[in-house]
Amino acid sequence: MKALVWEGANELAVRQVPDPKIRNEQDAIVRVRRTVTCGSDLHLLGGYIPFMERGDVLGHEFLGEIVEVGPQVRNHKVGDRVVVCSFISCGKCWYCQQQQFSLCDNGNTNPAITENVWGSAPGGCYGYSHALGGFAGSHAEYIRVPYADQGAFTVPDAVSDERALFASDSAPTGWMGADLAGVKPGDVVAVWGAGAVGQMAARASVLLGADRVIVIDRLDNRLQMAQTHLGVETLNYEQQDIGAELLERSGGRGPDVCIEAVGMEAHSNGPQLWYDQVKQQLRIESDRPIAAREAIYNCRKGGSVFVLGVFAGLVDKFPLGALMNKGLTLRGAQQHGQRYIPMLLERMARGELVTEHLATHTMPLDEAPRGYEMFKQKLDGCVRAVFQPTS
């Protein structure tokens, strides 16, 4: 079959790879109809995650049709149109039963790597390096889905492929950030990053009853998108004083909830960008936590900060003093999608959650390297590039 593979840092190619096979009785094989770039892929593409091998298939946010099921798959049959959670979880371990699905004990076939690097192993993830199991990604014609009854969700007829695609990762990730950060009616919420995950976190905050939701970015087209499609306020950090604006818009308190949806390659218009880039290139730190620092600094006393952006390792100049002395609650997680996807599909069916606008560019899989280049360089207003491996 055809797939988009990682050939080395900033090198991608579409080439033939072996078809996936049923390896466990709870597996399904899905024919991929739509699969989409994610900002976290750029960390893999750029070589910031050192657990990739030449030939690894990228992609973890996708939708398709089941073409084969293992003998222990009970909830799905051949022909089902499904959206699949990007994280692989068994549904049976203690973490899954606490609905912390991305922490699954059994979803990662290479637990030693992350146990050594992070202290414990999270679950597996499609197309996200051998640290998270080495599972082939979704930028391919077909993909193997382990624990299919747990991770694949039948899409209601009322929800289009274009909309349901984002129930795989962006929407549940964003919703989880708002939910676990404790957004409640009356809150002022600030979201750093107007990519798909940031937009979904902002929309979730609105639906959870936040009084004001403010999205921060430097790209006007994304901020305009957030205003138009989500009905939220926006700030451009290249043109506005973020700290002053947030204070003014929150009665001088600061936002109750601050959501970081940027990750380890954050930008800034200040000298801290150069500082972090130099340290990152010298391997003195692995991640640039610029937005996380700002979220902590600007959050109100006693407020809540949630890290949704993907980080891999160590950061420098982390404002632990602000965190401690302001009594903040800091949380982070990869998405516990199985907890939210059914509810999100229902909201999509009711029109409460729209996502089609995120797919700014749609193209065949053959053009995926060009799609990633557009996505990485933000060319032509690209927010997400969607690939169609099969029609």
Partner 1 sequence: MRWLIGGAVALAGGMVARRLLGGAGRSNDQWQRGQARRRGPRWHVATVNRPAGDVAPGGQFPEPLAGLGDAVEIQVRPAAGGRGTEIAVRLRDGARLPLAAAARRAAGRDPEQAIRAALRESKQLIETSEVLHPDYPPTTESTPLNKPLQMATRQGRREGRL
Min CB(17)–partner 1 separation in Å: 4
Is position 279 an interface residue for partner 1 (rule: CB under 8 A)?
no
358: three-class secondary structure by DSSP? helix
Q: Name which position in 35, 43, 48, 372 contacts partner 1 (CB under 8 A).
A: 48
Q: Mask of contacts with partner 1, 65-104, x by CB under 8 A? A: -------x-----------------x-xxx--x-------
Q: Which of 209, 208, 202, 256 is nearest to 233 (CA)?
A: 202
Which of the ranges 133-141, 163-171, 303-311, 325-333 carries the binding residues for partner 1, by CB under 8 A? 133-141
DSSP state of 23: -
Is position 25 an interface residue for partner 1 (rule: CB under 8 A)?
yes
Q: Can you say how many angstroms the Cα of residue 77 is from the centroid of all Cα atoms in its chain?
A: 28
Which of the ranges 6-14, 225-233, 294-302, 342-350 carries the binding residues for partner 1, by CB under 8 A? 6-14
Q: Distance (Å, rounded) from C-alpha 235 to C-alpha 119? A: 37
For residue 175 the two structure tokens come to: 């919703």
> In this structure, are residues 113 and 171 in contact, taking their beta carbons and an 8 Å threshold?
no
The count of other CB atoms within 10 Å of the CB of residue 45 is: 22
Q: How many residues bind partner 1 (CB under 8 A)?
A: 57
130 vs 331, beta carbon nearer partner 1: 130
Is position 112 an interface residue for partner 1 (rule: CB under 8 A)?
yes
213: three-class secondary structure by DSSP? strand
Min CB(51)–partner 1 separation in Å: 6
Is position 292 an interface residue for partner 1 (rule: CB under 8 A)?
no
Using DSSP bridges, classify how beta strands 257-260 and 188-192 pair: parallel, antiparallel or unpaired.
Answer: parallel
Min CB(225)–partner 1 separation in Å: 30
Phi, psi of 137 (to 5 degrees): -85, -175
Q: How far is CA 274 from CA 194, 270, 280, in A?
A: 22, 8, 10
Min CB(263)–partner 1 separation in Å: 17
Q: Name which position in 38, 57, 155, 259 contacts partner 1 (CB under 8 A).
A: 57
Q: Distance (Å, rounded) from C-alpha 299 to C-alpha 164? A: 33
Query: Site residues (CB under 8 A) for partner 1?
Result: 3, 5, 8-10, 17-18, 20-21, 23-26, 46-57, 72, 90, 92-94, 97, 105-107, 109-113, 115-117, 119-121, 124, 130, 133-136, 144, 146-147, 281, 283, 286
